[in-house]
Structure 1
Amino acid sequence: MSNQNQTEKRAIDLVNASLKKRYAKERRFRHVGQAAVIMGLLFVSFLFISIIGNGYTAFEHTFVRLNIEFSEQEIDPEGKRDPQALSTANYAGLVKAAMRAEFPDVKARKDKRALYKLISSGASLALREMVLANPEIIGTKKEVWLVADDDIDMLIKGHIDRNVPESDRRVSDKVIGWVEQFESKGAVEKQFNTTFFTNGDSREPELAGIGGAVMGSLYMLLVTLALSFPIGVAAAVYLEEFAPQNRWTDLIEVNINNLAAVPSIVFGLLGLAMFINFFGLPRSAPLVGGLVLTLMTLPTIIIASRAALKSVPPSIREAALGIGASKMQMVFNHVLPLAMPGMLTGTIIGMAQALGESAPLLMIGMVAFIVDIPGGPFDPATVLPVQVYLWADSPERAFVERTSAAIMVLLGFLFIMNFLAIILRRRFERRW
């Protein structure tokens, strides 16, 4: 009897020992998982903090107040108020005259060139727009807030340290003295940077904006949506509801799944060969970009749409057929409306993926330097991811903050699209 008790005790001890080891392994695995989650959150947090820290200042820009004399002799000596003459007047001379009036002691030619550079070259365009909008200001003197040069903007925002030696910064002591004189008079102010959202690209950082890239992305996504959604849904409906099960449909399904994993640059090469070289479509146009991204997003939309169709219970199909509906009526009147929320979710996710793509668009020439805002899908344009790529390659410090700000805008669009997909799924999805 005692031997039996000892045997049972040893068995219990062995079980307890194995349980302790198993529980210890479970704790270690749980701790490893928690550490992985924490590390992932830390990396993502560091990424967002870095982007926001570098980019939030781009939403403001430095402006300098000047007393501009809209001299009739300079703008419209003939007094005819001809729009052609007004648009070609020497507005840069008005800015230079105002700067000389502010600093009459600056005489040397080199110092004058440095003085004029305090104001952006785009200030003359702002004055021209003012005169064209209201010719009555010709012959008057008016205080105008003009865009400062990017180096002055970086100085005011603190990205250029005034306390380091002059040889270690882009702005000289003399320029800093002029800026401080403006500051003492309250003539320097940071304002909301509307040009960042309304202008196209520019070689001057203070004039560069994402307006052209946003419109190019919009036209490209409209083309992609108009083609990929109906084609993708039609293909999914045919394969899931009407196609016979044979080796050809199996081959199509395998190819669709494989295309979803093909690198995006391959679609760019295909678009370059087919749409540009063969069909002769315009290079750098949102139309071509939309066609390329349609090819790229179609597998995603087809797979998501087929999954949505499969989620509809067979009883819905059987009930529709049982009351005399044809197969076409069953699919389009009963199954498709129930599967549509999942299809829309897959489409929005595919569109969000397309919005963030740059590699295929580089292959079809959308990396070109585009200043004008595109007016349609056939005009040359760039897109937000490519604009980020272009600015990231620029050496000026002001382009660093604009690069980060453009990334913030792009991430904002992606968050909105994914949030919309979640809302649609929760709003219209039915659980069976």
Structure 2
Amino acid sequence: MDSKTASAAEIRKRKIADVVNAGLKRRYAAERRFRFYGVAAIAISMIMLVVLFTTILGNGLTAFVQTRVTMDVVASAERIDPQGTRKREDLVAGDYQGAVRDAVLAMFPEVTARKDRKDLMELFSNGAGYELQRKVLENPDLIGKTVRVEVPVASEFDMLSKGYISRDVPEAERKISDKQIGWFDTLKSKGMISMGFNTTLMSSGDSRQPELAGLWGAIVGSFYTLVVTLTLSFPIGVAAAIYLEEFAPKNKWTDIIEVNINNLAAVPSIVFGLLGLAVFLQFFGLPRSAPVVGGLVLMLMNLPIIIIASRAALKSVPPSIREAALGLGASKLQMIFHHVLPLAMPGMLTGTIIGMAHALGETAPLLMIGMVAFIVDIPHTPLDPSTVLPVQIYLWADSPERAFVERTSAAIIVLLGFLILMNAAAVLLRKKFERRW
């Protein structure tokens, strides 16, 4: 009987061991599957990221290089200053494009037909006259002399030089003719065509001509907008966080406020744009498409993020700091501003920078307040009409010209560069001032 009982116990042990081992196998298999899913998710994310950056860089890096032609232009007084006054207002109104046209036709004396002359002038950007104008305004003594200017070629020939337009396709399938390509090759054989850094892209405002379009107006507009946003949102957000965390009583009213702050952080950004349109533009009558209005709208959108981050930073300060300060005779206000706030400030700054980076990439609320307008001039104050980098990308992406495709990608590269710098600053601040309690 004892041997039968022992054998039955052994059988039960083996069954239990088999059940446990089977359970362990299932758990190990589930763990392996979970690891595989995690690695696969990371791999897919990295592949998509590589594809994204490869596409953007492949399309956009060439926009930082521009094809230019160097020519000698006679700054004739008949074209530029027929009155002979040498006054600035008269010089500004001079026919500089006509002087450039005379120089181009002089280089190709065999081109006599009216249509051929028109096609020949299409090789050169409409902005060719502006470079001559700039030189003459800087030095009026150049009038009557031959001036060497370097001007951009038209965008289609810039695309030809960069290989985006193939010479092998039939003439009917491209915008430039074989005759125009021949003239371009003639200029190239004479050493008049060169490629260099596209200073226009980083120094000019928007333009209908791709070769003259730049990002500087959008960069300045983004700067003014973010300055207004930071100036208003940071002190208001920090003050609200200090009150809610240190002074406000814990009751149903503060609970309602906290719930609403958390909900506002998840509200779609276009709702804030509608609010800005109704309040700042229609009620207060602030100027449309101005950075000050954009900054106010982004301030409303950014406030919940800053408040939540600032409260989390205040909570991370140990209670012993507060108790020690109060125990030494400090008032509550002194305890907060002399001890708690300096320790919480790195976390507050990190949250603020991340919130500002989020605001820099916003488009929808700014479209609602009119910052989608075509702005050529560089804004000088937050009250001047302006656009911002995301909206500039939106405008260029909607343009049909091939040259705007590379400029759109270049604008994305610049925007991503600013975002990376701002996020890197947040990480560095956290690493530099982080304290472990």
TM-score when scaled to structure 2? Answer: 0.97
In the other structure, the counterpart of 2:354 is 349
Q: Distance in 2 between matches of 1:177 and 1:213?
A: 37
What code does the residue aligned with 1:155 have? L
Corresponding residue of 1:2: 7
- The answer to whether residue 245 in structure 2 is matched with residue 240 in structure 1 is yes
**Comparing 66-75 with 318-327, which one deviates more in the overlay?**
66-75
Counterpart of 2:409, as a letter, is S
Spell out the pairing of 1:109-148 with structure 2 (5 A cutoff). Answer: 109-148=114-153
2:77 & 2:39 partners in 1: Cα distance? Answer: 73
**Which of residues 286, 301, 307 is equivalent to 2:312?**
307
Kindly, what percent of the aligned residue pairs are identical? Answer: 64
Determine helix, strand or coil for the equivalent of 2:435.
coil
Match of 1:189 in 2: 194
Instruction: Give distance in 1, aligned partners of 2:8 and 2:303.
Output: 72
Q: Secondary structure at the match of 1:320?
A: helix
* Equivalent runs, 1:16-55 vs 2, <5 Å: 16-55=21-60
Partners of 2:124 and 2:154 within 8 A in 1: yes
2:107 aligns with 102
- Stretches (4+) displaced over 3 A: 77-80
Which of 323, 334, 337 is 2:339 aligned to? 334
CA offsets 1:335-386 (integer angstroms, 9 cap, x no match) = 0010000000011111111100010000000001111000101011010000
Instruction: State which of 406, 410, 426 in structure 2 corresponds to 1:401.
Output: 406
The answer as to 2:436 corresponding to 1:431 is yes
- Which residue of the partner structure matches residue 72 of structure 1? 77
Q: Which amino acid in structure 2 is aligned with residue 50 of structure 1? A: T
Within the alignment, does 1:162 sit opposite 2:175 as a pair? no
Query: Does the residue aligned with 1:41 lie in a helix, a strand or coil?
Result: helix
Alpha-carbon distance in 2 for matches of 1:143, 1:279? 52
- Distance (whole Å) between structure 1 residues aligned to residue 269 and residue 31 of structure 2: 40
Equivalent AA in structure 1 for residue 258 of structure 2: E
Kept in 1, the 8 Å contact 2:131–2:150? The answer is: no
Secondary structure, counterpart of 1:143 in structure 2: strand
Partner of 1:366: 371
Residue identity opposite 2:112 in structure 1: K
Deviations 1:47-104 (A, max 9, x none): 1111111111111111012121122332224443222222111111111111111111
Q: Work out whether 1:322 is the aligned partner of 2:327.
A: yes
Q: Does the alignment pair 1:213 with 2:238?
A: no
Q: Report the Cα distance in structure 2 between the residues aligned to 1:29 and 1:427, rounded to whole angstroms.
A: 35
The number of equivalent residue pairs is: 432
- Using the alignment, how far apart are the partners of 2:127 and 2:82 within structure 1? 23
Match of 2:255 among 229, 234, 250: 250
2:69 maps to amino acid: V
CA–CA separation in structure 1 for the residues paired with 2:25 and 2:254:
53
* Partner amino acid, structure 2, of 1:61: Q
Secondary structure in 1 matching 2:150: strand
2:3 is matched with none
DSSP-derived class of the 1:104 partner: coil
Unaligned stretches of 5+ in structure 1?
Answer: none
Partner of 2:436: helix, strand, or coil?
coil
User: What secondary structure, in the 3-state scheme, does the structure 2 residue paired with 1:191 have?
Assistant: strand
Summarize deviations over 1:282-331 as a string: whole Å, max 9, x none: 11110010110000000000000000000000000000011111111111
Q: 1:277 aligns with which of 282, 288, 293?
A: 282
Q: Are 2:384 and 1:379 equivalent residues in the alignment?
A: yes
Give distance in 1, aligned partners of 2:378 and 2:198: 18
Q: Could you tell me which residue of structure 2 aligns to residue 153 of structure 1?
A: 158
Aligned-partner Cα distance in 2 for 1:402–1:346: 32
Partner of 1:389: 394
How far apart are 1:17 and its partner, in Å?
Answer: 2.1
Given that 2:131 and 2:149 are in contact with CA atoms closer than 8 Å, whether structure 1 keeps it comes out as no
Letter in structure 1 aligned against 2:118: R
Q: Provide the aligned C-alpha RMSD in A.
A: 1.0
> Which SS does the other structure have where 2:207 is aligned?
coil
1:166-197 C-alpha deviation (Å, 9 max, x unpaired): 11111110000001111111111111111111
Distance in 1 (CA, whole Å) between partners of 2:381 and 2:89 is 27
Opposite residue 100 of structure 1, the aligned amino acid is L
Q: Deviations over 1:196-246 (max 9, x none)?
A: 111111111111111111111100100000000000000000000000111
Structure 1 CA distance for aligned equivalents of residues 81 and 282 of structure 2: 50
**Distance in 2 separating the partners of 1:88 and 1:117:** 23
CA distance in 2, matches of 1:309, 1:12: 52
CA distance in 1, matches of 2:124, 2:234: 49
The gaps in structure 2 that reach 5 residues or longer are: 1-5
- The 3-state SS of whatever aligns with 2:205 is coil
- Once residues 40 and 247 of structure 1 are traced to their aligned partners in structure 2, the CA distance between those partners, rounded to angstroms, is 43
User: Residues of 2 paired with 1:378 and 1:259: CA distance?
Assistant: 28
Amino acid at match of 2:222: S
Name the CA distance, whole Å, in 2 between partners of 1:346 and 1:157: 43
Contact 2:372/2:395 (CA < 8 Å) preserved in 1?
yes
Q: Which amino acid aligns with 1:263?
A: P
SS of the residue aligned with 2:195? strand
> Match of 1:57, SS?
helix
The alpha-carbon deviation at position 29 of structure 1 amounts to: 1.1
Is it true that 1:420 corresponds to 2:417 in the alignment? no
Are 2:181 and 1:176 equivalent residues in the alignment?
A: yes
